[in-house]
Structure 1
Amino acid sequence: MPDARAAALAAYLYQCAAAFSLSADVSDAHHVARAGMALLDAARLAETLRPTDHRLTALSEAGCFETMPDKEAVFLEPAGLRAAILRPLSGGQVSGNDILSAVVAAARAT
């Protein structure tokens, strides 16, 4: 059974990818498409994180998860996190792992 925190983080990143996709539809720039794919890659990576993964631990310690009934969790977006995720996407090539690292760094900074 997947970790509820991993599922919550993945759901958040999928939402970010969807929002990014909607705002990027007006552009035909290749870097915009790559950025959207990086967000999707980050979401897919998040789905596979093990309960002991240091990134989930760091996000838990930063208070980024709320436990819900039925052993589910919700990812709580700290202030400034969305900007920390989207800022690197506007520049060079970014990987899903880069995005996960940015999420953890931004959460620790709050």
Structure 2
Amino acid sequence: MLTRRPDARSLALAIFLRRWAGAFSFSADALDSPDTARAGMTLLDAAQRAEQLAPDDPVIVVLSEAGHFESMPGGRARFVETVEVRRAVLRLIVGPTFDGRQVLTAIASASGPP
């Protein structure tokens, strides 16, 4: 069975989301906050979905056009966070319940130039 190698930008976005999920998990443990824990789980879902995004997925295209990916050696990429993207992630704590795909869409919608 042939499997598609994940796009470097998709992997970079997934790593970014997993780091935020880790921060939310740490905060949830320290604060005993179910809402923060829920947000962290949603970010893990978004990270899993991000890993599977095709190079022509609208989320990847929008983030690429906004300059959110930095090329790295070895064909890798790094996601460049902006204040707007950070706000979109932090809204998970106080906003309505999102699923992973909605998180990706919110990040793309909020993406301002780095």
CA distance in 1, matches of 2:83, 2:94: 19
In the TM superposition, 1:52-91 aligns within 5 A as 52-91=56-95
Counterpart in the other structure of 1:107: 111
Could you tell me which runs of 5 or more consecutive residues in structure 2 were left unpaired when the two chains were aligned: none
1:44 corresponds to which of 38, 48, 51: 48
Q: Deviations over 1:23-75 (max 9, x none)?
A: 22123343332211101000000000011111100000000001111110000
Structure 2 SS opposite 1:80: helix
* Alignment-mate amino acid for residue 65 of structure 2: E
Could you tell me which runs of 5 or more consecutive residues in structure 1 were left unpaired when the two chains were aligned: none
> C-alpha root-mean-square deviation of aligned residues, in Å?
1.6
CA distance in 1, matches of 2:84, 2:25: 20
State the number of aligned residues: 110
Higher RCO structure, 1 or 2 (CA under 8 Å, sep 6+):
1
In the TM superposition, 1:25-44 aligns within 5 A as 25-44=29-48
2:20 corresponds to which of 16, 19, 27: 16
* Alignment-mate amino acid for residue 98 of structure 2: V
Structure 2 SS opposite 1:50: coil
The question of whether the paired residues in 2 share the 8 Å contact of 1:58 and 1:108 is answered with no
Return the TM-score normalized by structure 2. 0.87
CA distance in 1, matches of 2:42, 2:86: 14
CA distance in 1, matches of 2:83, 2:31: 27
What fraction of aligned residue pairs are identical, expressed as a percent? Answer: 47
CA distance in 1, matches of 2:6, 2:113: 27
